[in-house]
Structure 1
Amino acid sequence: MFSTLLRPKMKQHASKFQFDLLVIGGGITGAGIALDAVTRGMSVLLVDMQDFAEGTSSRSTKLIHGGLRYLKQMELKIVAETGRERKIVYENAPHVTEPERMLLPFHKGGTFGPFMTSAGLAMYDRLAGVEKSERRTMLSPEETLRLEPLLNREGLLGGGHYVEYRTDDARLTLEVLKKAAEKGALCLNHCKAEAFIYDREGKVVGAHVRDKLDNSRFRAEAEHVVNAAGPWVDEVRELDDVSNGKHLRLSKGVHIVISQSRFPLRQAVYFDSPDGRMIFAIPRDGKAYVGTTDTFYDGDPAKAAATEEDVEYLLKAANSMFPGVRLVRNDVESTWAGVRPLIHAEGKNPSEISRKDEIWESPSGLLTMAGGKLTGYRKMAEDAVDRIVRRYNGGTFGPCITRNLRLSGGDFDDPDHLENFIRGKANEAELYGLTYEDGLEIAGFYGTNADLVFRFAHAAGDGAGLSATVRGRILYAIHAEMAATPADFLVRRTGWMFFDAGRVQEEGSKVAAYMADLLSLSSEEKVKMLDELDLAIGQTAGLQGG
């Protein structure tokens, strides 16, 4: 049950049933907890006040990586754990995660030299359990430039070549949630937990929830409640009790997107910015994106956006490492800004604060999952659910099984089968009136869910100024992915808002009109939907003042 059209029925179930677990927050952390819990036999309800993955989980650097800078900070446990988790995420969802060879160039006077790079990457490989075929190689200046000719040649001493994993963070979160729903979890987006419910002993046993789409309310009861609200965890804790003195410190990270016609980047690069911060430049689907910044943020996490100062910082960093490109502000097609929930550490700047995760428990029994990284979501969920299982004194629920559980769309015996699967499905697409290219795009994006998208596209036909493929993807997003607004579809179901801004400008209003008709929205609701779309477009344009 993961369809927008079934929301009334889902809310009715949520209000009439006492769950084992209520999860507040539908980013990657909450999604992981819901999946882990439901596959152990728990009844699970998850609510998110926005769309799923609308916060940090759609606005990261979109990498599943261990993080070399944590090695520099000697956080060996984080490097080892997240390094191992990279491969697990890839094997369970190869259609949204793929190996990405990363180049780390080193220049005279830079943060990393040849010895530190070689030793660091070798330790990284060992800690992360990297397979022999994917271990680091050290390159001469000439070999480094052959991989990426755009690099600054002045003072170039060579480079290290190693493997990370690229992902679509929002899609990964959705595939986790879809799997949780398939296993029986009830997951509702755009539903805000506004107040907690307590029993006579003061234990938290649920929440009063408001559906922000129609303003209806329902009472959700559960034996246990987990706060996995990311940047909003302190806000949720304030509904209960903040007796634990620890709290979050928010950090904003910004990325810019540039067409490869202006920035013909061949190779993903991890490099020094002029002020010493490490920056990624990554090619993706005809674009190159650059990020991230790392500055403390005190505003509303839902309104985080790139400022002109952020954009200029990243342009300066890119032009320093790739001087021949001469990027300017008009080259930036879109931006995104994400807020990282860091556990406060006095006297440290954002780049120095650990990304480790912690579980906090209030006197009422509310569990809060704080901190953490996209890469480690599965292990974080396992730790949180283990804690809940211990409350039952064991025996009631099974062990964690998510290490070897394929996510929705990822039902492959071996990730290496993906390419053959995509080509096979592309040939089948013609049976549904689609082109071979349509089939490649759909199968590569949706994995083993491609057949359902094909059927929706065939049934949808053309109309509303949209192709059959787009109409089919919208239908699938509504019926199988809980998309309720154009921004849900254009940002988190497709990524077009970030990586195909021209398409959004051209088709965004048509998508909104088509969705409004499918959802039988009133004129007032249509206006609200378009206003929200305009706001999302404005946030990704990065036009706010510094």
Structure 2
Amino acid sequence: MRAASAFNRQQTIEELQQTSYDLLVIGGGITGVGIALDAVTRGLSVALVEMQDFAAGTSSRSTKLVHGGLRYLKQFEIKEVAELGKERAIVYENGPHVTTPVWMLLPFHKGGTFGKFSTNIGLRLYDFLADVKKSERRYMLNASQTLAKEPLVKKADLKGGGVYVEYRTDDARLTIEVAKTAVEKGATLINYTKATGFLYNEQGKINGIEAQDVLNNQSFNIRATKVINAAGPWVDDVRSIEGKTTGKHLILSKGVHLVFDESVFPLKQAIYFDTPDGRMVFAIPRNGKTYVGTTDTFYKGDPKEMEITKEDRTYILDAIHYMFPDVNITERQIESSWAGVRPLIHEEGKDPSEISRHDEVWESETGLITIAGGKLTGYRKMAEGVINRIASSYNRTLAPCQTKQLKISGGDIGGSQNLEKFIDMKVAEGVKHGLTEKEARHLAHHYGANVNRVFAYLAEAPSNLPAGLYAQLQYGLAYEFVQHPNDFFIRRTSDLFFNIQEVIEYKEVILQLMSQQLQWTDNQKALYTEQLELEITRATTAK
């Protein structure tokens, strides 16, 4: 079985140069890796390049929910709700270790966006459209029951609440697990490799790219019958390689989330609530933290350089004070934060929250296929659709889509109904290895069926680093493409968002280990250290 190892990078580059692929995907977010997995399991030879790290853009900076699109009922996007609801269940069954059902409370107040009738009807319709299983269907609460569920909710004018199920996920880990599965099935994926130009055949059609290894500036060509642009917020940048883009284009919407320790924001129940300006915001407890978001404002500029502003922070803090008036938090108690963009297809005259999240696919005169828009929840269906579209390009019949019942890496634990039994078993094993129960439970949830490979590194841990953190690093280097400290701290562990004190405490040790194992030059180590410090600053301050 092929492994997504950081140590195989040069071998991967040589393979990319020497092979002519059926399909080349540009972009390693959830959309791109989903396309790679769908294509390789249908019998296509597949390559994928990502100019940063996998999930470095939108796919690591969402609200971290695989949700069924309840908010789209307000916009009467019935088809969207129906499809996302069904896809949500598929994502969960194929990767239950990275997707967790959580009951979500939607409180309603006198004069608010929702009332008892509209909430009841909306959630009932949602259950029907999304084909929600019986054990997860909505139920309604009166005011006292709502406060019993979550005492921090605003008591004044409270009328009641609706409760329904959403699916919490780690968006970056979901992306990495899908990417690893594509590699295991035979696809060739590489991060930190940028498409800088296109190659053309005699008919003027694109048949590959000029690529650059961002880590060492090595340039090389990759040949492919078809090229798909799935670069998320950067799809227009990829299109512009050919010159000026016309027709459809993206508009970016910025979303910010703030993280608090449960000691200052002791939320026990996930909440979806309306704000005074009519928007909806999530407040979600997660592993001893509470995170709240998101904002929704147009953004111009490179998402790689995006900063959180004081206005972003104030908006979310005001929303918290509005719905949770007894939670007296201030900016000083923000532990971490993240900002991301939603790549939306431009619709003239609409505010960010009004623009549809649907995906679209189009093709240039030179044959470049571009896919844009869409939601994390619908990544599998989007991939199926785009591969169906290009299937006729090949002189053979492709296999039908295989991903509906394909377990992603780490997901083969005997079905979602077996998750808690599996976790308990792995916790017992982890404790025998010297971990605390909490540490072992975290690793079992984080890595699923792959956790034994993580456990195998525990005995090697140095004395100046927690054994679990060391094991995660070694597993990340050997099996998860880790090349950069930000890959590890942001997208493989989420520690920079949800355990930032550990990042600050152990960053020097991690940097030293990575430098030794990946044989960084002094200049590389200095650069990567600076880039890690920048991300810590971005997560803890506002402009």
Normalising by structure 1, what TM-score? 0.97
Cα deviation, 1:259-317, whole Å, max 9, x if unaligned, reads 11000101000001121110000000000000000000001111122111100110000
Correspondence for 1:198: 200
What's the counterpart of residue 482 of structure 1? 481
Equivalence for 1:412 = 413
Paired residues for 1:269-418 under 5 Å: 269-392=271-394, 395-418=396-419
Per-residue deviation, residues 398-419 of structure 1 (Å, max 9, x unmatched): 0101000000000023212111
Aligned to 2:174: 172
User: Is 2:178–2:409's contact at 8 Å kept on the other side of the alignment?
Assistant: yes
Task: Tell me the distance in 1 between the aligned counterparts of 2:383 and 2:320.
Answer: 36
CA drift at 1:435: 4.4
Residue matched to 2:501: 502
Once the two structures are TM-superposed, the CA of residue 244 in structure 1 deviates from its matched residue by 4.7
Deviations 1:316-367 (A, max 9, x none): 0001000001111011111100111000000000000000000010011110
Q: Does the Cα contact within 8 Å between 1:241 and 1:362 map onto a contact in 2?
A: no
The CA deviation at 1:433 is: 4.6
CA distance in 2, matches of 1:175, 1:31: 9
Q: How many pairs does the alignment contain?
A: 541
**Whole-Å Cα distance in 2 between the matches of residues 213 and 167 of structure 1?**
30
What is the alpha-carbon distance in structure 1 between the residues aligned to residue 91 and residue 223 of structure 2?
32
Instruction: Note the 1:209-224 alignment, pairs <5 A.
Output: 209-224=211-226
Q: 2:234 aligns with which of 232, 235, 239?
A: 232
Separation in 2, partners of 1:126, 1:412: 29
Matched to 1:504, the amino acid is V
Q: Residues of 1 paired with 2:108 and 2:437: CA distance?
A: 43
Cα distance in 2 between the residues matched to 1:436 and 1:312: 38
Residues in 2 aligned to 1:241 and 1:90: alpha-carbon distance in whole angstroms: 41
What root-mean-square deviation, in Å, do the aligned CA atoms of Structure 1 and Structure 2 show? 1.2
Amino acid at match of 2:453: L
Contact 2:413-2:422 within 8 A present in 1 as well? no
The CA deviation string for residues 373-411 of structure 1, in whole angstroms up to 9 with x for no partner, is 011000000001111112236x43101010000000000
Residue 102 of structure 2 aligns with which residue? 100
Instruction: Note if contact 2:413-2:448 (Cα within 8 Å) is conserved in structure 1.
Output: no
CA distance in 1 between partners of 2:439 and 2:213 (Å): 36
Moved more, 435-444 or 191-200: 435-444
**1:270 alignment partner, SS class:** strand
State whether structure 2 residue 462 is matched by structure 1 residue 462: yes
Deviation per residue, 1:182-208 (Å, 9 max, x gap): 000111001101101111111101111
Distance 2:360 2:79 in 1: 14
Q: Percent identity?
A: 54
Q: Secondary structure at the residue paired with 1:133?
A: helix
Query: Partners in 1 of 2:46 and 2:6 — Cα distance?
Result: 18
Shift of 1:243: 5.7
Question: What SS does the corresponding residue of 1:526 show, helix, strand or coil?
Answer: helix
**Equivalent residue letter for 1:125:** D
Distance in 1, Cα, partners of 2:438 & 2:330: 33
CA distance in structure 2 between the aligned counterparts of 1:326 and 1:468, rounded to whole angstroms: 37
Q: Please identify, of 138-147 and 426-435, the stretch whose mean Cα deviation from structure 2 is larger.
A: 426-435
| 1:54-93 mapped onto 2 (5 Å cutoff) | 54-93=56-95
Partner of 1:49: 51
Letter in 1 for 2:406: L
1:432-443 mapped onto 2 (5 Å cutoff) = 432-443=433-444
Deviation at 1:69, TM superposition (A): 1.7
285-294 or 212-221, which deviates more: 212-221
* Partner-residue secondary structure (3-state), 1:517: helix
Indicate conservation of the 8 Å contact 2:97/2:448, yes or no. yes
1:234-257 CA distances to partner (integer Å, 9 max, x unpaired)?
Answer: 000111256651100000000000
The match for 2:426 is: 425
Change (3 A) 1:381 1:543: same
Structure 1: distance between partners of 2:500 and 2:21 = 41
Q: How far apart are the structure 2 equivalents of 1:242 and 1:431?
A: 60
Which letter does structure 1 place at the counterpart of 2:485?
A: P
Contact kept, 8 Å, 1:244 with 1:362, in 2: the verdict is: no
CA distance in 1, matches of 2:139, 2:122: 12
Distance in 2 separating the partners of 1:198 and 1:44: 18
Aligned counterparts of 1:204 and 1:457: Cα–Cα separation in 2:
48
Residues 437-492 of structure 1 show CA distances to partners (whole Å, capped at 9, x for unaligned) of: 4332221210000111111222x2224x2122211110100110000011100000
Per-residue deviation, residues 124-177 of structure 1 (Å, max 9, x unmatched): 000000011111101100111100000001111100000110000000000000
**8 Å contact from structure 2 (residues 313, 542) kept in 1:** no
Show structure 1 runs of 5+ residues with no match.
none
Moved more, 300-309 or 41-50: 300-309
1:490 is paired with a residue whose SS is helix
Q: What is the alpha-carbon distance in structure 1 between the residues aligned to residue 496 and residue 101 of structure 2?
A: 24
Aligned to 1:542: 541
Residues 487-520 of structure 1 deviation map (CA, whole Å, 9 limit, x = unaligned): 1000000000000111111112221111111111
Question: 1:516 matched to which residue of 2?
Answer: 515
Q: State the shift of 1:430 in Å.
A: 4.6
> What residue in structure 2 maps to residue 120 of structure 1?
122
Instruction: Provide the rounded CA distance (Å) in 2 between the counterparts of 1:257 and 1:491.
Output: 14
Q: Is the 8 A contact 1:242 1:362 kept in 2?
A: no
1:12 and 2:14 correspond = yes
Counterpart CA distance in 2 for 1:351 and 1:378 is: 24
